[in-house]
Amino acid sequence: MEHATTGVAILELSITGAILFSIFWARGGKEFFLRRIAAFSVIDEAIGRAVEMGRPILFCTGLSGLGVTFFQALAILSYVVRRAAEYGVRVIVPLFASEVYPLTEEVCKEAYRAAGKLEEYNPSDVFFLSNDQFAYASGVVGIMHRERTATHFFLGDFAAESLILAEEGHSVGAMQIAGTPATLQLPFFVAACDYTLIGEEYYAASAYISREPIIVGSIKGQDLGKIILLFLSLSGVIGVTLGGKMAIIFQNLFR
């Protein structure tokens, strides 16, 4: 395993410090503004569409295993399931990794309980499908066609199967909301889905949905972290352009 150099340690600790500072600032009562994110704003509309059509919702977490990407997808899933339960719409959740199954099942059950409709929870709507990439993709496509799903959420880690899922979803006429930290898959989602979460918007999910001050504070901290990176990038460009000792310093800053 690699270890932090002095430059990397200072940079990472600065970003971590900025995030923690913002969290404690928010905990102290400071309210931060969170800009509107289109993909989150239309979640209720997407659920409403499924209600009107009387068809189920498909929530696909892609190839996510237990990790930060999956936790964000769960944050949105818990909200979607709760809202869908309130209106009596099924949410089908096929899973790629078996280790996330118990957690996902518990979240869905908890969402039904929060909606006051625990008796309507159907355990067979959350299931492990396959841990093979294309077997999983073909399974999800099969569900889309058999169940004639009205709304699709693609949130999590995706690879080559992203376009198969999004295009098949488009062909069944579903409204589609997608988001992934895999930058290579973003163009496919942008082309084939109605709304796409781009970049760090994906990690703002729990803050946007819960509006919990501490989590919103961490989003503010992210902005501070990006300012640090922007400052470093600009300094690097100027330093390397000037040449000489400055260029050598910046070229070796993180080595």
Partner 1 sequence: MKIFHPVKDPTLLTVYIVASLVGSFLVLALMHKFLSLRAKGRFITALTFLAGFFYSLEFFLPAKNGKNFLTPWVEPVGDALAVIGAFAFPLGLVSLAIVHWGNIKRKREGWYFSLVLFIATIAMALSAFLSYYAHLSIAKKIYSCLFDGLYIPLGVAMMSTLAFYIVSAAYRAFRVTNVDAILMMGAAIIVMLGQIPFGMWLTSWLPMQGIVSSLRIENVSNWFMTVVNMSVQRAIGFGLAVGGIAMALRVWFSLERGMQMGGK
Interaction pattern, residues 169-198, with partner 1; x per rule: CB under 8 A: ------------x-x--xxx-xxx-----x
Shortest reach from residue 169's CB to partner 1, in Å = 11
Torsion of CA 56, 62, 67, 70, to 10 degrees: -20
Nearer to partner 1, 104 or 151 (CB): 104
The yes or no reply on residue 147 touching partner 1 (CB under 8 A) is: no
Nearer to partner 1, 52 or 106 (CB): 106
**C-beta separation of 50 from 89 below 8 A:** yes
The Cβ of residue 150 has, within 10 Å, a number of other Cβ atoms equal to 23
- Scored b (16 or more CB within 10 A) or e, 106-141 reads ebbeebbeebebeeebeeebbebbbeebeebbbebb
109-128 binders of partner 1 (CB under 8 A): 110-111, 114, 123-124, 126-128
Shortest reach from residue 235's CB to partner 1, in Å = 15
Shortest reach from residue 249's CB to partner 1, in Å = 21
The Cβ of residue 191 has, within 10 Å, a number of other Cβ atoms equal to 12
Shortest reach from residue 244's CB to partner 1, in Å = 25
Of these, 202, 208, 216, 250, which contacts partner 1 (CB under 8 A)? 202
Shortest reach from residue 115's CB to partner 1, in Å = 11
26-65 binders of partner 1 (CB under 8 A): none
Of these, 61, 64, 185, 218, which contacts partner 1 (CB under 8 A)? 218
**C-beta separation of 98 from 127 below 8 A:** no
Of these, 95, 140, 175, 216, which contacts partner 1 (CB under 8 A)? 95
Beta strands in 5-137 (DSSP E): 57-62, 91-95, 126-128
The yes or no reply on residue 2 touching partner 1 (CB under 8 A) is: yes
Q: Residue 148: is it exposed, middle or buried by C-beta count within 10 angstroms (0-12/13-18/19+)?
A: middle
Token representation of residue 244: 């000489």
The interface region with partner 1, picked from 31-39, 42-50, 71-79, 243-251 by CB under 8 A, is 71-79
